[in-house]
């Protein structure tokens, strides 16, 4: 991605904290297979809820528990030095980060949908609160 943007000289940090949430026993199953095995409503709850995790997997709450410390320790210090940061991650890792940045409630987070390749541009104020947000979808 950086090469395509002409930015191949920018340093990159890779960290497991931004990995997709662990789907546990759903790993390797497509949505239809998971629904056949566990039921449509149960799979929907595991995929969209905040605290409910699939068997042997992570909930969104668990994902936040690893994403948020990475954000605070690695991303925020760079941003507070007035430098830009591009975060590339999977849907649930991004949902966890967005929940924290935008103050989305536990009740509202299940309805947050991120489209593939959707980008969100955040500008933070001097107290690290979101000053502005722009959603960009290249489609």
| Cβ pair 60, 92 in contact under 8 A | yes
What pLDDT, on the 0 to 100 scale, is given for residue 76? 95
- Measured CA to CA, the distance from residue 92 to residue 76 in angstroms comes to 19
Dump pLDDT digits (tens) for 35-51: 999 999 999 999 888 99
| Predicted local confidence at residue 48, as pLDDT | 86
Chain centroid to Cα 93, Å, comes to: 3
Quote the pLDDT of residue 58. Answer: 96
**Which pLDDT score is estimated for 2?**
79
Low-confidence ranges of the chain (pLDDT < 70): none
Q: pLDDT at position 127, please?
A: 92
Q: Cα–Cα distance between 55 and 65 in angstroms, integer? A: 18
Residue-level pLDDT at 117: 87
């Amino acid at each position: 991605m950086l090469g395509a943007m002409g930015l191949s000289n920018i340093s990159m940090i890779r960290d497991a904290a931004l990995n997709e949430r662990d789907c546990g026993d759903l790993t390797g199953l497509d949505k239809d297979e998971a629904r056949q095995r566990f039921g449509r409503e149960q799979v929907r709850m595991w995929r969209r809820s905040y605290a409910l995790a699939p068997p042997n997997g992570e909930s969104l709450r668990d994902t936040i528990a690893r994403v948020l410390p990475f954000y605070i320790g690695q991303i925020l210090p760079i941003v507070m030095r007035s430098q830009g940061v591009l975060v590339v991650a999977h849907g649930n890792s991004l949902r966890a980060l967005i929940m924290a940045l935008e103050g989305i409630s536990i009740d509202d987070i299940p309805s947050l949908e991120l489209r593939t390749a959707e980008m969100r541009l955040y500008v933070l104020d001097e107290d690290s609160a979101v000053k502005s947000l722009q959603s960009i979808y290249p489609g």
